Structure 1
Amino acid sequence: MSRRGLTRPLIRAALTTTLGLLVLSGCGSDEPGSELALTAALPDAPAEGTVLRVGDPATQVALETSGLIDELGVEVEWANITGGPKTLEAFRADAIDIGSVADIPPLFAHWTGTDVRIVAARESADPANHPVYELGVAPGAKVETIQDLKGKKIAYSPGQAQGALVLNVLREAGLTQDDVEFVEMQSVDDAFSVALASKQVDVAPLGQTLAKTYLAKYERDGASTIDPGVRDDAWTLYTPTTVLADADKAAAIKEYVVAWTKAQQWISDHPDEFAKAYYVEHEGLSPEDAAHVVEAIGTHQVLTDWDAFIARHQETVDTLVEAQDQEPLEVETLYDRRYETVIADAVGGS
């Protein structure tokens, strides 16, 4: 059987309940490998039959569309799971081994008792001109600049990247939490869009895909979006330390981060193909909206040197510690830099 056959997705539907995730965790699981210290050298390859359970649908689509999935040297079970809350729920249900999220979910996993490590990092090649998020504005809410946020109700998700974005936007606008009203909710599916449309909130951060669909539905009613004006492009792969303690799983992740690196480059080099395969066929956008999203997001670069990324991540941590009274954290302790070397070697040898 070809690698393509081995790695065909076994799960297509989004999993939103713990029961569903527990069912998933029983599919294709393999026997645990030998125990591996978190400081030990990574094994060369996983044992035959090792299965890696991955929540990273965008990379799955990129690998399948490009044909790079044939080079993936490990058997994968794909789960259509995205976003910090669902990924963390899946980790806690032992339903997936690795997930793809922004830089905030690993922090809240740590702060809420799930020990995790970041194994890959990516950022925008041009963050100033390609923000990941826009601020959605409810119909009738008069918000044209971030200074207009004063006195407004803002959707706030403390455990997600959107929450940190809101805090950074307020700082950039010269405002504090006392100047606005936070409405705490999780940004799952289209929850923020619905809250905006129903005027439960005046403003909510929306990813480019949601921003486009939100405007398509509600712009005629007076909805709008504005540029948040702050950097928001950090992206990571992360995994529970219990997974890394399994020698075969740790080796499988080594294979996966190499494939992930190649997939991100393919996405940057083939934006039109990716737009059609992921945003149109997988996410259900129109071709016009998909093209807009890809253009708005721009290209990404996988990092082979994590120092500057970690330093910016520490600034985010310090903001959350101050604003949310979180426990101080040296964020570098959440990075497994063994994989930094793996990615650097992969890029250097490509």
Structure 2
Amino acid sequence: MIKYHRGTAMAALAAALALAAGCSEEQAVTKLDLAAALPDQVPGGTVLRLGDPQIQAIVGAAGLEKDLSAAGVQIEWANISGGPQSIQAFRADKLDCSSVADIPSLFAAWTGTSTKIVFQSVTVDPLEHPIYKLGVAPGVSVSSPADLRGKKIAYSAGQAQGALVLRVLQKAGLSQSDVQLVELTSTGDSYVTALGSKAVDVAPIGAQNIKLYEAKYPGASSIFTGIRDDAATLYCLTSAVEDANKAAALKAYVAVRTRALLWANDHQAEYAKAYYQDTQGLSEADARAVVEISGTKGIPANWDAAITRLQETADLLATEQRHDRLDVHTLVDRRFEKVQADAAGAQVVSGDAA
């Protein structure tokens, strides 16, 4: 008779169970064709890894966790947003989706990371409520974009701020040779610091940093860009959208995300506190001022105008930064277009002008 030691038998059993569990997990993951309808049911155990901190704060303040739970959506929140962080996390397979402007999806494609945009929002009255202004260093005279000639301008090629600079120069009739672009990644208040130290003359500054900058440095100023800069998206790894389980969870999340943005429009004081005050560290007064400056978000009835603007931006960057021409339709998953429009209902913004 062959005798087995109990420890050896238990180890073998554990290994067999682990292997079986692994096979079960693999069998549960079904690849979804990008042309197929989005599934409605979220299988148990499906987890979305999201870098969407602003929406995370709103979901908590609005009590929308219950909607996610009811849909069977589990989320691992990551304090990540913006292009450089999100693309790095995508490449390390640490993230499924992230909130960004329009540029990261372009740079992901140009640098070999396949992503899809699954959410679009727009700012109501975008020229009156810009996301960015041009901060001007103390002692530097700039009163309009035409005054940028000869100036040192903070520039990050792979971020929305970089595209903004190129678009402002284009509108002002200037080229890159007319200014000095200073390569500087925008992280935290890095542009504010660069302006304050006069390392640059001009830099795009986000709404939440405008008041901070002008209060911190005597003589600091800012001007409006005069161009639309309100692109706001959620983009995901293509592999996440092709995972039938995650696609179902994303469908539910996009609907909840839509309701979260609309809730923030109607509860601006609560939104200001939940995000800008409690997580970004602004004072109550400054938090409310940022919300007022940045305007309210709208859900477009369709994505036609947003895609047109994205194509124009892609074409500009391809020319100015010597990238291959890109058809941006390949970057957008329009199956989610109706999901967010249905969730917004009568509150969709029609005629989102390009």
The question of a shared fold, defined as TM-score above 0.5 by the shorter chain, is answered with yes
Structure-1 residue corresponding to 2:332: 335
**CA–CA separation in structure 2 for the residues paired with 1:241 and 1:337:** 13
**Equivalent of 1:344 in 341, 345, 352:** 341
Q: Is the 8 Å Cα contact of residues 127 and 231 (structure 1) preserved in structure 2?
A: yes
Structure-2 residue corresponding to 1:75: 74
* Matched position secondary structure for 1:89: helix
- Structure 1 residue 42: Cα displacement: 1.3
- Structure 1 residue 349: Cα displacement: 8.4
| Partner deviation per Cα, 1:297-318 (whole Å, 9 max, x = no partner) | 1111122301111111111111
Structure 2: which amino acid aligns with 1:64?
G
Q: Is the 8 Å Cα contact of residues 33 and 249 (structure 1) preserved in structure 2?
A: no
* Matched position secondary structure for 1:200: coil
More displaced stretch, 223-232 vs 337-346: 337-346
Higher gyration radius (CA): 2
Structure-2 residue corresponding to 1:139: 138
Q: Is the 8 Å Cα contact of residues 115 and 235 (structure 2) preserved in structure 1?
A: yes
Structure-2 residue corresponding to 1:64: 60
Q: Is the 8 Å Cα contact of residues 136 and 222 (structure 2) preserved in structure 1?
A: yes
Equivalent residues, number: 319
**Equivalent of 1:234 in 231, 250, 256:** 231
Q: Which residues of structure 2 form unaligned runs of 5+?
A: 1-24, 348-354
In the alignment, does 2:284 pair up with 1:287? yes
**Equivalent of 1:33 in 26, 29, 32:** 29
| Partner deviation per Cα, 1:237-283 (whole Å, 9 max, x = no partner) | 10011111211011111111111100110111111110111111110
Structure-2 residue corresponding to 1:52: 48
Q: Is the 8 Å Cα contact of residues 315 and 325 (structure 2) preserved in structure 1?
A: yes
* Structure 1 residues 290-301: aligned runs within 5 Å: 290-301=287-298
Structure 2: which amino acid aligns with 1:58?
Q
Structure 1: which amino acid aligns with 2:319?
E
Q: Is the 8 Å Cα contact of residues 299 and 341 (structure 2) preserved in structure 1?
A: no
- Structure 1 residue 49: Cα displacement: 0.9
Structure 2: which amino acid aligns with 1:201?
V
**CA–CA separation in structure 1 for the residues paired with 2:346 and 2:133:** 37
- Structure 1 residue 294: Cα displacement: 0.6
* Structure 1 residues 233-312: aligned runs within 5 Å: 233-312=230-309
State the identity %.
Answer: 55
Q: Which residues of structure 1 form unaligned runs of 5+?
A: 1-29
| Partner deviation per Cα, 1:55-109 (whole Å, 9 max, x = no partner) | 0011011010011121112011111112111111111111111110001111001
**CA–CA separation in structure 2 for the residues paired with 1:349 and 1:319:** 35
**CA–CA separation in structure 1 for the residues paired with 2:289 and 2:344:** 29
Q: Is the 8 Å Cα contact of residues 193 and 214 (structure 1) preserved in structure 2?
A: yes
**CA–CA separation in structure 1 for the residues paired with 2:343 and 2:172:** 41
Structural RMSD (CA): 1.4
**CA–CA separation in structure 2 for the residues paired with 1:173 and 1:184:** 21
**CA–CA separation in structure 2 for the residues paired with 1:217 and 1:132:** 20
Structure 2: which amino acid aligns with 1:263?
A
* Matched position secondary structure for 2:75: strand
* Matched position secondary structure for 1:206: strand
Structure-1 residue corresponding to 2:123: 124
Structure 2: which amino acid aligns with 1:302?
I
Structure 2: which amino acid aligns with 1:108?
F
In the alignment, does 2:109 pair up with 1:113? no
- Structure 1 residue 189: Cα displacement: 1.3
Structure-2 residue corresponding to 1:156: 155
**CA–CA separation in structure 1 for the residues paired with 2:144 and 2:33:** 50
Q: TM-score, normalised by structure 1?
A: 0.88
